[in-house]
């Protein structure tokens, strides 16, 4: 029996990158997947990749926009109506936000990042938690960032949003421990892929250097000398989703190649 067999997992931002890698890993472990996000074409591609594994049930695809609470409530209701419960919630959806000095950010740019990266996971968790409490069972996993702990120039709003997740996670872990619900967080380092390339390109433009020079500079900060992969993050999520972490809650796990060690 696979370790997540007969369990239902909702992954936000399952369309690409970390979310897709997490969805594939949880599916391999036997979970029934609910794939949520804004890009239905990309979500359907994730669903196709899972189906091609030929090892589990067909995922449920649900549209969800973290800036629209109605879509969040609708996706959770559809999921509960279909499966009766949600065992694992992976709050992965987020945006990189604008790279700029704080005093040059527009209020709308600040609000968009905070609303997506911090308020969005609050709303999704709020919708899912009552069903977990009713069953005295569940695992909630937030995807944070080491940027919330190790500051980077021009990344104030992103850092604020991700460090805010740590506070929310730890408070929830304290509140939900006696309800049988565990709450943890994975803090990725620099995760290779188009999103990281876009951030590095923004920073390079701001500092008047090339993408290649800035990428080399970022790699120098990592003890292992390598960016981490989405699959690396998925392994950490699988640990928190499974019974292997049954005695772990309130934990912030760095997967960063040593970029952050606290």
Whether 158 is catalytic is: yes
Which is the catalytic residue, given 61, 121, 158, 162?
158
Q: Which residues contact 76 (CB under 8 A, 6 or more apart)?
A: 10, 86, 124, 127, 128
Go through the chain and tell me how many residues it has: 262
Q: Which residues contact 211 (CB under 8 A, 6 or more apart)?
A: 197, 200, 201, 204
What is the predicted pLDDT for the residue at 56? 76
Please provide the average confidence, as pLDDT, over all residues in the chain: 96
pLDDT (average), residues 176-198: 95
Provide the CA 200 distance to its chain's centre, in angstroms: 20
**pLDDT tens for residues 210-251?**
999 999 999 999 999 999 999 999 999 999 999 999 999 999
Q: Check: pTM over 0.75? Answer yes or no.
A: yes
3-state helix, strand, coil in the chain (%, to 5): 55, 15, 30
Indicate whether 142 pLDDT > 90. yes
Nearest CA among 154, 80, 137, 145 for reference residue 118? 145
Residue ranges of domains in the chain: 8-190+229-255, 192-227
DSSP string covering 100-133: S-GGG--HHHHHHHHIIIIIHHHHHHHHHHHHHH
The CATH fold of domain 8-190+229-255: Rossmann fold (3.40.50)
pLDDT band, very low/low/confident/very high, at 3 (cuts 50, 70, 90) = very high
**pLDDT tens for residues 52-68?**
998 878 999 999 999 99
């Amino acid at each position: 029996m696979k370790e997540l067999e007969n369990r239902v997992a909702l992954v936000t931002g399952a369309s690409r990158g970390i979310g897709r890698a997490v969805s594939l890993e949880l599916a391999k472990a036997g979970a029934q997947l609910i794939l949520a996000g804004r890009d239905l074409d990309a979500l359907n591609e994730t669903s196709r990749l899972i189906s091609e594994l030929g090892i589990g049930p067909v995922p449920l695809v649900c549209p969800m926009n973290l800036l629209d609470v109605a879509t969040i409530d609708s996706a959770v209701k559809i999921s509960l109506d279909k499966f009766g419960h949600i065992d694992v919630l992976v709050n992965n959806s987020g945006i990189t936000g604008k790279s700029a000095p704080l005093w040059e950010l527009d209020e709308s740019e600040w609000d968009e990042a905070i609303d997506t990266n911090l308020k969005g996971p609050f709303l999704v968790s709020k919708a899912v938690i009552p069903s977990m409490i009713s069953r005295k069972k569940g695992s909630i996993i937030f995807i944070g960032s080491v940027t919330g702990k190790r500051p980077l120039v021009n990344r104030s709003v992103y850092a604020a949003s991700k460090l805010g997740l740590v506070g929310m996670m730890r408070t929830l872990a304290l509140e939900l421990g006696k309800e049988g619900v565990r709450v943890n967080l994975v803090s990725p380092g620099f995760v290779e892929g188009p999103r990281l390339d876009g951030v590095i390109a923004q920073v390079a433009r701001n500092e008047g250097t090339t993408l290649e020079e800035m990428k080399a500079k970022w790699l120098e900060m990592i003890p292992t000398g390598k960016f981490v992969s989405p699959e690396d993050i998925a392994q950490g999520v699988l640990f928190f989703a499974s019974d292997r972490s049954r005695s772990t809650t309130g934990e912030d796990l760095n997967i960063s190649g040593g970029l952050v060690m606290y």
